[in-house]
Amino acid sequence: MAESMEEQLLGNEENRRWIITTEWEIYSQELKKLSYIAAPMVAVSVLQYLLQVVSMMMVGHLDQISLSSVAIATSITNVSGFSLLSGLVGGLETLSGQAYGANQWQKVGTYTYSAVISLLIVCIPISISWLFMDKLLILMGQDPVISVEAYKFSLWLTPALFGSAILKPLFRYLQIQSLILPMLVTAFLVLCLHISLSWFFIFQLGLGKSGAAIAFCFSIWTFVALLVFYISRSSSCERTRTYLNKDALLAVGQFFRYATPSALMVCLTISSLHFVIPFGLGVGASTRVSNELGSGNPQKALVAVRVAMFLAVVETVVVSTVTFLCRGVLGIARGSGWQIIGAYVNLGAFYLVGIPVAFLLCFVVNLKAKGLWIGLLVGSAIQATSLSLILSFTDWQKQAINAKKRVSEKKSSEENNKRGLIR
């Protein structure tokens, strides 16, 4: 009897060790998959950000007015244009990510076309609004000379805006398939080209700050051309590569249903875009979660969530700020199709709590810059806590079912259209 009990205890201990080992292997594999996407995306984000840094540095060698006008124009065009496109393209992460996970390869290409069409349409009113930038800046009390120069610089950036409307969906198209290396290599080549072009246009041709904008436009469109060439030639994209068809036009409405709240989620925390490390984590998290939900694997999606949260916490501790925690969580929200929830959380955390706290501490308590930082940290802490609570109470089995319905929804409409044509 004693020997039997001892053998049973040993057996239970072995089973427990086996379970722990298996769980560790599962999380280790997920950590590798997520890091494979997130780490290169951090580098890609840094290289992209350096395009603007290079332009600003070279313009800084001209004169104070040029530097001031370019700085203002860059800030406004980022908030009103480029960052808005970055938010809108988040809808593609939900649709294409889950379609890819469900092995519906052609839909990945179709949704990418829909995103490009949608973003190009959005660029039209944005570019028109930039025509009135000088009047807006003067109305806000800016120096008239700087306002006019900022207006001129923003006009030269308009081609780059339309280029970004194509570039950002191409990024998501490759990211969803975990094809990060082509983006990394291309981003590095474009940065090297941008440095040379900026020097040539600004100093050699004597175009000044206008030369910086022209060089930026050339670099963006070169980026687009290189990625299009890779996608059209690479065997890695063969399954998802497709031609522009009417399905892409029909999917524009479906894209906007996810893109609009995604844009709100990003624009309500626009400062987070400058933190490229958590942005890379968010990209990795959204890809992994959307792929697994599309495949009907809620447990694997949950593992991806936990690994993303772990990496976000580690990154937060290293950098010593709560602000960085949020982007990993927001990536999960994009991958699961929760953009509207993220928008509400950001609205409440920053605009109902963070900004009022910052205003009181800065102007009433007279803490000045410290008050602004405290308000930002309070908003970020509430954002991270709220999204973490939402994640902890999520039914991932239900999310997988919703993902299947979302992907099959388009398939049903296509079949109905075909039947209508046959009749």
Q: Which residue type sits at 349?
A: A
Cα separation, 92 vs 291, in Å, equals: 12
Cα separation, 18 vs 329, in Å, equals: 31
User: 421 in a domain, yes or no?
Assistant: no
Query: Mapped to the 3 state alphabet, what secondary structure does 292-304 carry?
Result: HHHCCCHHHHHHH
Classify residue 205 as exposed, middle or buried by CB count within 10 Å of its CB (0-12, 13-18, 19+).
exposed
How far from 259 is each of 256, 302, 340, CA to CA, in Å?
5, 24, 10
* pLDDT for 156: 94
Q: How does DSSP assign 175-187, residue by residue?
A: HHTT--HHHHHHH
Chain center to CA of 116:
15
Backbone angles phi, psi at 170, to 5 degrees: -65, -40
The string of pLDDT tens digits covering residues 266-298 is 655 544 434 444 555 555 555 565 556 556 666
Question: How many other CB atoms sit within 10 Å of the CB of residue 49?
Answer: 15
pTM of the predicted model, to two decimals? 0.68
User: 17 in a domain, yes or no?
Assistant: no
**Number of structural domains, the chain?**
1
* pLDDT for 322: 44
Tokens (6 digits) for 51: 């395009």
- Give the helix/strand (H/E) hosting 329: helix 325-336
The three-class DSSP label of residue 39 is helix
Backbone angles phi, psi at 103, to 5 degrees: 65, 25
* Residues contacting 72, CB < 8 A, separation 6+: 137, 142, 146, 147, 150
Question: How many other CB atoms sit within 10 Å of the CB of residue 182?
Answer: 17
* pLDDT for 304: 65
* Residues contacting 152, CB < 8 A, separation 6+: 69, 209, 210
Largest CA distance in the chain: 95
User: 3 in a domain, yes or no?
Assistant: no
Cα separation, 413 vs 91, in Å, equals: 20
Classify residue 51 as exposed, middle or buried by CB count within 10 Å of its CB (0-12, 13-18, 19+).
buried
The secondary structure of residue 346, as a DSSP letter, is: H
User: 12 in a domain, yes or no?
Assistant: no
Angle of the 276-294 helix axis to the 90-101 helix axis, nearest 10: 40
What string of pLDDT tens digits covers the 423 residues of the chain? 555 555 554 455 555 555 556 666 776 776 676 666 677 777 888 888 888 888 888 888 888 888 888 888 888 898 888 988 988 888 888 788 778 877 888 888 899 999 999 999 999 999 999 999 989 888 888 888 988 999 999 999 999 999 999 999 999 899 888 888 899 999 999 999 999 999 999 999 989 899 999 999 999 999 999 999 999 999 988 888 888 888 888 888 888 887 877 777 665 554 443 444 455 555 555 556 555 655 666 666 666 666 666 655 555 554 444 444 444 445 555 555 555 666 677 677 777 887 788 778 877 788 776 777 787 778 777 777 777 777 666 665 666 666 566 556 555 555 544 443 333
User: 51 in a domain, yes or no?
Assistant: yes
* pLDDT for 3: 52
381 lies in which domain range? 26-267+274-409
Stated length of the chain:
423
User: 19 in a domain, yes or no?
Assistant: no
User: 9 in a domain, yes or no?
Assistant: no
Tokens (6 digits) for 389: 């609570």
Question: How many other CB atoms sit within 10 Å of the CB of residue 262?
Answer: 29
User: 232 in a domain, yes or no?
Assistant: yes
